[in-house]
């Protein structure tokens, strides 16, 4: 990955600004109603940002999990024998921006009847 979060934020500042204005126009076509408390605005902005971040994470994790080649299930961690594919398992992870879900490849060793999550090549490496 090795992307500096602060540098990415700076690089996308203009585009994110456009998105923020678009969302704002959609939510408040007549402008921010008078009497809106700052904390309400802050909560709303936080929720939008969190959902954006959550979907960003989910999209990438899902994409990587789905791209995992079936022939790279690896070897059984117990006996070292070849693994075979079994139905993907649903997985949910709590992140700082909410829960993200995806389906994960699962390997099965016919010899020792173990199920395991393949690790090589690992996600994101």
The least distance separating another protein from the CB of residue 29, rounded to whole angstroms, comes to 29
Q: Based on the shown chain and the rule CB under 8 A, indicate whether residue 37 belongs to the binding site for another protein.
A: no
CA atoms of 50 and 98, how far apart (whole Å): 7
Tell me whether residue 100 is exposed, middle or buried, using C-beta atoms within 10 angstroms of its C-beta: 0 to 12, 13 to 18, 19 or more: buried
Q: Based on the shown chain and the rule CB under 8 A, indicate whether residue 24 belongs to the binding site for another protein.
A: no
* Residues 44-103 within binding reach of another protein (CB under 8 A): 61, 64, 74, 77-78, 92-96
Q: For residue 22, give the H/E element and its range.
A: helix 13-27
Binding site for another protein (CB under 8 A): 61, 64, 74, 77-78, 92-96, 107-108, 113-120, 122-124
């Amino acid at each position: 990955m090795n992307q500096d979060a602060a540098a990415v934020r700076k690089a996308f500042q203009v585009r994110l600004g456009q998105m923020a204005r678009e969302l704002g126009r959609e939510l408040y076509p007549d402008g921010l109603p008078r009497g809106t408390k700052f904390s309400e605005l802050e909560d709303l902005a936080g929720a939008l940002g969190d959902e954006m971040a959550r979907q960003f994470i989910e999209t990438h994790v899902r994409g990587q999990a789905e791209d995992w080649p079936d022939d790279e299930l690896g070897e059984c961690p117990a006996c070292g024998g070849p693994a075979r594919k079994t139905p993907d398992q649903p997985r949910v992870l709590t992140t700082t921006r909410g829960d993200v879900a995806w389906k994960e490849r699962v390997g099965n060793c016919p010899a020792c009847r173990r199920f395991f999550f393949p690790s090589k090549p690992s996600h994101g490496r």
